[in-house]
Amino acid sequence: MDILFKILIDPFLQMGAMPDLFVQTIWDGFVTGVLYALIALGFVLIFKASGVFNFAQGIMVVFAGLTLVGLYEMGLPAPLAVLVTLGVMFVLALAIERVVLRPLVNQPDIILFMATFGITYFLIGLGELIFGGNPKQMITDQLFLPRGAIEVKMLGGFVQFQKIDIAAAVIAVVMIVALAVFFQKTRIGRALRAVADSHKAALSVGISLNQIWVIVWFTAGIVALVTGIMWGARSDVSFGLQVIALKALPVLILGGFTSVPGAIVGGLIIGIGEKLGEFYWGPLVGGGIESWLAYCIALGFLLFRPQGLFGDKIIERI
């Protein structure tokens, strides 16, 4: 009986007793969710255009962050370092298309998936070779990102909003809107959607798959850079970040592999869900449940919507 009380009643009593902490948990979950959504977005972009599950998205986040800080440490001014990093990500996209994707065209998806493992280990090695294994501090001030926190007194306590978290949320929203406009309103965006719908049909109307792949991988590289900057500012830019990127997996399970809105909503559900779970229910089992709770949340949703949040219901007639 006691255990049922602790699971079903006590957490809600705690939410009522300390509403400021409840709001704080939701906010922390929201920010984490936004960052998960950004990572998931990188996966979705590539999956939509090429049907490849890009395992290397996590290391792309680390590589982009390390390149930025590394270039700054080499003496480049921060804005120039950002531009050069974007250039590096473009060259990377070009190289991946030429060296990995083009020779493997028409191969089964699993081969392309395994190829992204190869890209992952290549980028780990290259990153460590060039920048070393030491974690680096993100150049927050030089990028004009805010520091400090805003404390708002509310609900009998206070809620703290880190300025960098607010900036992360704003930048993520701008990024998502920009991507949406790019997909919906531009010629290249329409071509991308055509490729996502059908490679053959896209080819038949003269869309170059190779060009599209470069654009998509480059866009995923831009997303990776933004994620690297934001997450790096919260802790450090280290190779540990690539593990966090795997948190995008439950987000994708939940939101669907091809849905941009799915990545965003899925990210927020996972982010907020895992923070609430860890904070209110974690102590019941000794804490540290975040790493697997995200998958439980995703699986729970799938029981009711097997096609994911925004996926189409698949009806097969026999």
Partner 1 sequence: MSKRLTVLGLAASVMASSLIMAAPQAAAQESVYVPLFTYRTGPFAGSGIPIADGMHDYLQMLNERDGGIGGVKIALDECETGYDTKKGLECYDAVKPKNPVMVNPWSTGISLSLIPKASVDKIPVLSMAYGLSASARGDIFPWVFNPPATYWDGLAMIIRYIGTESGGLDKLKGKKIGYIYFDGGFGKEPIPLFEQMAKEMGFELKLYPVPPGEMQNQSSQWLSVRRDRPDFMVMYGWGAMNPTAIKEAVKINYPMDKFVSIWWPGENDINGTEGAKGFKMLNWHGIGTDYPALKDIQKLVVDKGLSKSPKEKVGELLYNRGVYNAILIAEGIAQAQKITGKKVVDGSDVRRGLENINLDEARFKAIGLPGFAGNLQLTCKDHNGHRAAFIQQWDGAKWVKMTEFIEPLPEKVKPALDEAAKEYGEKNAGWPKRSEACDKS
C-beta of residue 253 within 8 angstroms of C-beta of residue 44: no
Q: What are phi and psi of 160, to 5 degrees?
A: -105, 125
The yes or no reply on residue 149 touching partner 1 (CB under 8 A) is yes
Region of 63-71, 75-83, 202-210, 234-242 interacting with partner 1 (CB under 8 A) = 234-242
Region of 87-95, 105-113, 197-205, 288-296 interacting with partner 1 (CB under 8 A) = 288-296
Region of 52-60, 114-122, 134-142, 306-314 interacting with partner 1 (CB under 8 A) = 134-142
Written as six digits, the tokens of 136 are 């680096």
- The closest alpha carbon to 228, from 91, 72, 113, 101, belongs to 72
- How far out from the chain centre does Cα 264 lie? 9
Shortest CB 231 distance to partner 1, Å: 7
Total residues binding partner 1 (CB under 8 A) = 40
Region of 37-45, 50-58, 69-77, 233-241 interacting with partner 1 (CB under 8 A) = 233-241
The yes or no reply on residue 274 touching partner 1 (CB under 8 A) is yes
The yes or no reply on residue 176 touching partner 1 (CB under 8 A) is no
Q: What are phi and psi of 150, to 5 degrees?
A: -110, 125
Give the Cβ contact number of residue 85 at 10 Å: 26
C-beta of residue 310 within 8 angstroms of C-beta of residue 265: yes
The yes or no reply on residue 240 touching partner 1 (CB under 8 A) is yes
- Residues in the chain, how many? 318
Region of 180-188, 222-230, 275-283, 310-318 interacting with partner 1 (CB under 8 A) = 275-283
Residue in 15, 18, 94, 207 binding partner 1, rule: CB under 8 A: 18
Shortest CB 144 distance to partner 1, Å: 17
The yes or no reply on residue 283 touching partner 1 (CB under 8 A) is yes
Residue in 266, 278, 298, 309 binding partner 1, rule: CB under 8 A: 278
- Cα-atom radius of gyration of the chain, to the nearest Å? 21
H helices of the chain, in order, are 2-4, 10-17, 19-50, 57-73, 78-95, 109-131, 163-185, 187-197, 199-204, 209-234, 241-245, 248-255, 260-276, 290-304
The yes or no reply on residue 204 touching partner 1 (CB under 8 A) is no
Shortest CB 128 distance to partner 1, Å: 5
DSSP state of 205: T
Shortest CB 50 distance to partner 1, Å: 27
What SS3 state is found at 102? helix
C-beta of residue 271 within 8 angstroms of C-beta of residue 31: yes
The yes or no reply on residue 291 touching partner 1 (CB under 8 A) is yes
How far, in Å, CA of 140 to CA of 231, rounded? 11
The yes or no reply on residue 130 touching partner 1 (CB under 8 A) is no
| Residues engaged in binding partner 1 (CB under 8 A) | 18, 21, 24-25, 28, 32, 124, 128, 132-135, 137, 147, 149, 160, 162, 231, 234-236, 238-241, 243-244, 246-247, 274-275, 278-279, 282-283, 286-288, 290-291
